[in-house]
Amino acid sequence: MKKILPFLAIILVLLSSLPFPDHACTTAVISPGASSSDRPLLWKNRDTDFLNNKVIFVSESPFSYLALVNAEDRSGRWAYAGLNSAGFAIFNSVAYNLPESSGEMKDMEGTIMADALRKCSSVADFENYIQENLGPSLGSLANFGVLDAQGDAALFEVSNRAFKKYTAADFPEKYIINTNFARSGEAETGAGYLRFERASQLFGQIPPGQISPYLILGRISRDTGHALVQQPVYSQFKAFSAKKPFWIATRDTIDRESTSAAVVVCGRKADQKNSLATLWVMLGEPLFTIAIPMWVEAGASAIPLAQGDKAALYLESKRLKKIGRPHPESDRREYLEATRLDNREGTGFLPRLLETEKEIFASTEEFLKFSHTPAELTAFQEQMAEKALASLRAVH
């Protein structure tokens, strides 16, 4: 027995170091040349064990910022995507094929991003930040997507000892899709290749120069298609009768049971004075929530995404998620019952959420045609959040 216990301890340590599928994200860095607004874009579907997320405003110097955080983090010193007052934005995804060394710091990407949001005003600033902090205490094994107010957009693959930078405008498509591997890492290792392939398929279906936050969040963040297996996406759920369940496996889809939020940052327009960068956030699994716009210049986060131990929008999306994913067991929770969301009889709730989201995007487009005070920005983002919350609460 004494010999078995140390052996079991070793096995547990080895297992704890393996990449688990819940620690994953699907992302894109998009240059102005590929977007419909001639602005850079960042996109992240966050997959994590920490499903209870918030968006908080952090008043800091030199730059304040909005950050997607785990709900228990009230300080904003661990960020998983964000936008600051200089128009600089950042996200990450774990890259499982970057080199690691035993005894060095790891899993510090959240603090790196919060630090960057507080200190960086440009892509060049972030590159300098990484260069200056390389070493055993950096704690990085990740891809970082960044954009700035000058229209630059880039992906950095960062380990403790080295980094590689890719500029989105240099790619033929003018964007970079990534999941949980690094292009500079060991070939054919890492994770997320099925989601990478599926995201590449979906972005490839968008005409050149027409990528928008509405298309990303509406179509791609909610996607249940599979790169290898034929299975329906939400626009096809209406073909099924509610009289018979239709189950979809979502372990390797972009929208997953482990997706805690989706974020798109629409950066400032480089040649437009006083233009605003917008942080679009879907709090909760995308199929069960609605996108909300926010601005750092408002000086606050929208209350339904920020206040309480569990934000109101998170709680409502969680309630709807239990309708579409009724089984909590570890193996069965990966399965989605499509007819709960939409069906031939028209009793599903998803079309109503999509209609509300379409209205929010249209209202925001009109709102941004004019300049606004911080108070007006605060009031508008609050109005849109309350509109989304009411739509979720109307589902019974």
Residue 11 domain flag: no
Adjacency order of strands within the sheet including 292-294 = 175-178, 24-30, 41-47, 259-266, 278-283, 292-294
Tell me: pLDDT of 11 over 60: no
User: What is the per-residue pLDDT across 65-85, written as a single tens digit (0 to 9) for each?
Assistant: 999 999 999 899 999 999 999
What's phi and psi for 117, nearest 5 deg? Answer: -65, -35
pLDDT at 24: 87
Q: Is residue 18 part of a domain?
A: no
Query: Between vectors from CA 236 to CA 238 and to CA 194, what angle results, nearest 5°?
Result: 145
Q: Is residue 263 part of a domain?
A: yes
Give the pTM: 0.94
Query: Which pair of structure tokens corresponds to residue 224?
Result: 């249940």
Cα separation of 380 and 362, whole Å?
13
State the CATH number of the domain containing residue 76.
Answer: 3.60.60.10
Q: Is 217 contained in some domain?
A: yes
User: What's the CA gap between 284 and 189, in Å, rounded?
Assistant: 29
328 part of a folded domain: yes
* pLDDT at residue number 12: 32
CA-only gyration radius of the chain, Å = 20
Give the residue-averaged pLDDT of 367-386.
97
Please count the other Cβ atoms lying within 10 Å of the Cβ belonging to residue 20. Answer: 13
Convert the pLDDT of each residue in 209-238 to its tens digit: 999 999 999 999 999 999 999 999 999 999
The number of beta carbons lying within 10 Å of the beta carbon of residue 175 is 24
Closest CA to 253 of 322, 314, 336: 336
Q: Residue range 142-171: average pLDDT?
A: 98
Tell which residue, 82, 112, 76, has the closest CA to residue 94.
112
Average confidence (pLDDT) over 19-42: 87
The number of domains in the chain is 1
The pLDDT value recorded for residue 254 is: 98
pLDDT of residue 17: 38
Query: pLDDT tier at 239 (50, 70, 90 boundaries)?
Result: very high
Q: Is residue 4 part of a domain?
A: no
Domain that holds residue 300: 23-393
Q: What is the mean pLDDT of residues 278-297?
A: 98
pLDDT score at 274: 86
| Residue 5 belongs to some domain of the structure | no
Residue 228 and residue 353: Cα distance in Å, rounded? 29
pLDDT number for residue 331: 87
pLDDT in tens, 82-126: 999 999 999 999 999 999 999 999 999 999 999 999 999 999 999
Contacts of 2 by beta carbon, 8 Å cutoff, 6+ apart: none
pLDDT for 182: 97
**Could you tell me if residue 257 is inside a domain?**
yes
Q: Which amino acid is at 77?
A: R
The confidence band for 271, taking pLDDT boundaries of 50, 70 and 90, is confident
| pLDDT value at residue 380 | 98
pLDDT at 113: 98
